[in-house]
């Protein structure tokens, strides 16, 4: 069994032996470096790595204020929520031969999911309003997953003469924890009132190609992979359920 040393013990080890220990550690830990990154040299790439969190509130008593990113398209796919896989996960319907669609019924049929890029106001209160004295809100970029019904609520929220990019919205989770309620907050969007368009454009830039946004629709699977998941075949990739999976129900 290899010797183990505490940090302070290395001080008392002769230099040549300490170097040998260090080199051995490096050799042992450098075997699998497929995902290795240089914490100094790759700093810009690491900071710019898209995250794109779901902005939907997790509790029924929470309200989140948001605005849609101007000019950014949404994406829509037929999906299935697999409650029996792991702790649940959302997958894209593979289409012809789909074993879930074959079961039929509202529980197994494919459901359309829509995702859109949004600006979340971090400094709004639980009622969606800004605390007194706030003239420049703190914002972040996220996404929102919607069912066609929830999208219908969003689409009907603007006042007459406004479109979806002309105002701020508020979103809350229904009291039963399933489904979303969406309504209009104010016009024009608060970030425009604060002349933050350039900042918002910069924050949104990593996501404008739509790649990260589309990945929030669900996990792509083939018919064979989906059958294996439902059968509980060992080695088939699973994932823990999150509100990203169920927010479009």
* Full residue range of the structural domain in which residue 199 is found: 53-246
Q: What value, to the nearest 5°, has the Cα angle with vertex 142 and ends 204 and 154?
A: 105
The model's confidence at residue 35, banded by pLDDT at 50, 70 and 90, is low
Same domain? 144 vs 200: yes
Q: What residues pair up with 90 in beta bridges, in sequence order?
A: 81
Check whether 245 has a pLDDT greater than 70.
Answer: no
Same domain? 84 vs 147: yes
Quick check: is 47 in a domain?
no
144: nearest Cα among 123, 173, 102, 105: 173
Same domain? 140 vs 32: no
Quick check: is 108 in a domain?
yes
Quick check: is 112 in a domain?
yes
Q: What residues pair up with 63 in beta bridges, in sequence order?
A: 172
Same domain? 142 vs 238: yes
Could you tell me the pTM of the whole model? 0.72
Same domain? 196 vs 224: yes
Would you state the structure tokens that stand for residue 101, as one six-digit string?
């669609």
Q: Which residue has the tokens 């100094």?
A: 40
Same domain? 4 vs 98: no
Same domain? 94 vs 32: no
Query: In total, how many domains does the chain have?
Result: 2
The model's confidence at residue 192, banded by pLDDT at 50, 70 and 90, is very high
Same domain? 129 vs 180: yes
> Contact 56/144 with Cβ under 8 angstroms?
yes
The model's confidence at residue 243, banded by pLDDT at 50, 70 and 90, is very low
CATH of the domain at 193: 3.90.198
Check whether 189 has a pLDDT greater than 80.
Answer: yes
Burial class (CB within 10 angstroms; exposed 0-12, middle 13-18, buried 19+) of 89: buried
Same domain? 144 vs 180: yes
> Contact 111/249 with Cβ under 8 angstroms?
yes
In a 13 Å sphere around the CA of 110, the CA atoms on its Cβ side amount to 20
Same domain? 59 vs 9: no
- The three-class DSSP label of residue 116 is strand
Same domain? 124 vs 193: yes
């Amino acid at each position: 069994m290899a010797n183990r040393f505490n940090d302070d013990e290395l001080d008392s080890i002769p230099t040549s032996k300490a170097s040998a220990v260090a080199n051995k550690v490096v050799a042992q830990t450098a075997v699998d470096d497929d995902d290795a990154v240089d914490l100094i040299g790759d700093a810009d790439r690491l900071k710019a790595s898209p995250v794109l969190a779901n902005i939907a509130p997790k509790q029924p008593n929470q309200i989140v204020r948001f605005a849609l990113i101007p000019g950014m398209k949404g994406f829509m796919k037929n999906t299935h929520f697999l409650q029996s896989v792991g702790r649940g996960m959302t997958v894209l319907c593979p289409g012809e031969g789909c074993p879930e669609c074959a079961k039929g019924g509202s529980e197994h049929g494919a459901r359309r999911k829509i995702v859109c890029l949004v600006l979340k106001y971090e400094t709004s209160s639980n009622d969606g309003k800004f605390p007194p004295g706030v003239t420049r809100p703190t914002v972040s970029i996220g996404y929102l997953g919607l069912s066609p019904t929830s999208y219908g609520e969003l689409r009907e929220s603007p006042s007459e003469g406004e479109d979806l990019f002309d105002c701020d919205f508020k979103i809350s989770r229904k009291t039963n924890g399933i489904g979303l309620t969406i309504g209009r907050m104010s016009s024009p969007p608060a970030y425009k009132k604060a002349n933050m368009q350039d900042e918002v454009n910069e924050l949104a830039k990593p996501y404008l190609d739509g790649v990260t946004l589309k990945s929030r629709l669900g996990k792509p699977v083939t018919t064979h992979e989906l059958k294996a998941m439902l059968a509980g075949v060992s080695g088939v990739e699973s994932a823990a359920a999150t509100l990203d999976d169920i927010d479009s129900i």
